[in-house]
């Protein structure tokens, strides 16, 4: 029987990083693949613009994603 993929989401917060760490231990324990996904919120300042530029918003979300995934690779308590 093939192990199912474990999925953990991170937004870069300490709580989500602990969840990723737990999921990584479980993946090893069960011999299962691990998929880490990032979760990004739309930045507050976007709501202030009548028509936000799509590329600008996409760049902000990519940057937030990259920071969250980088933090997940470093682990909880590591400096970003």
Provide the domain limits for residue 37.
6-74
Residue 31: left if φ>0, alpha if ψ -120 to 50, beta else—which one? left
Residue 10 lies in a domain: yes
Residue 67 lies in a domain: yes
Residue 37 lies in a domain: yes
**Structure-token match 């231990």, residue found:** 25
pTM of the model: 0.66
Domain count, the chain: 1
Beta carbons within 10 angstroms of residue 38's beta carbon = 20
**Does position 3 have pLDDT exceeding 80, yes or no?**
no
Residue 17 lies in a domain: yes
Q: Identify the residue with better confidence: 22 or 1.
A: 22
Average predicted confidence (pLDDT) for the chain: 81
Query: pLDDT tens-digit profile of 16-48?
Result: 899 999 999 999 999 999 999 987 766 665 556
Residue 1 lies in a domain: no
**Structure-token match 């693949």, residue found:** 33
Residue 59 lies in a domain: yes
């Amino acid at each position: 029987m093939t192990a199912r993929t474990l999925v953990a989401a991170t937004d870069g917060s300490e709580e989500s990083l602990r969840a990723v760490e737990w999921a990584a231990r479980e993946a090893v324990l069960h011999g299962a693949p691990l998929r880490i996904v990032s979760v990004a919120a739309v930045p507050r300042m976007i709501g202030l613009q009548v028509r936000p530029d799509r590329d600008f918003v996409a760049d902000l979300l990519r940057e937030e994603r990259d920071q969250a995934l980088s933090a997940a690779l470093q682990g909880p308590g590591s400096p970003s």
